[in-house]
C-alpha cells in the first residue's frame, strides 16, 4: 500500500510541476561581472521588488547556488531567455 501511495504522490508532483513550468512567463537572471548568466529563476507573475530582494538574499547566502561571495546583479530575463529555459525544463532541443 505504501508503494502505491508513493507512486500516486510522485505522479501528482510530476503533474503539478509540469503545470507550474508551463505557467512561467517571467524570469530573473543573476549576471556576474564578466556578463555571464550564473542563475535563472522563473516566475509566473512579474517579479516584485520583494521577490527581487528575496532572491538576491537567497543567492548571496545559500551556498548551494555557488554565488556566496561573488559579485553579481539581478536583471529581468528577456523573453528569449525565458523561452530557452522552458525548453530546457521540458527536455526539448534548444536549436
Per-residue model confidence as pLDDT tens digits over 2-31: 777 777 767 666 767 788 888 899 999 999
Q: Is the pLDDT of residue 49 over 80?
A: yes
Closest by Cα among 87, 70, 88 to 30: 70
The answer to whether 28 and 75 have CB atoms below 8 angstroms apart is yes
Task: Look up cell 549576471; give the residue.
Answer: 31
Long-range contacts of 51-56 (CB under 8 A, 24+ apart): 52/28, 55/28
pLDDT value of residue 34: 96
pLDDT value of residue 17: 76
Threshold 0.85, pTM exceeds:
no
Mean pLDDT (the chain, rounded)? 88
Task: Look up cell 529563476; give the residue.
Answer: 41
> How much is the average pLDDT of 31-46?
95
Ordered by start, the domain boundaries in the chain are 24-90
Where helices occur in the chain by DSSP H, the ranges are 2-23, 49-61, 79-90
Amino acid at each position: 500500500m505504501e508503494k502505491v501511495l508513493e507512486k500516486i504522490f510522485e505522479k501528482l508532483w510530476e503533474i503539478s510541476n509540469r503545470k507550474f513550468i508551463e505557467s512561467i512567463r517571467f524570469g530573473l537572471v543573476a549576471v556576474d561581472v564578466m556578463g555571464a548568466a550564473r542563475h535563472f529563476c522563473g516566475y509566473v507573475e512579474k517579479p516584485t521588488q520583494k521577490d527581487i530582494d528575496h532572491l538576491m538574499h537567497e543567492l548571496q547566502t545559500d551556498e548551494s547556488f555557488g554565488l556566496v561571495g561573488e559579485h553579481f546583479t539581478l536583471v529581468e530575463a528577456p523573453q528569449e531567455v525565458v523561452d530557452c529555459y522552458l525548453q530546457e525544463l521540458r527536455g526539448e532541443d534548444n536549436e
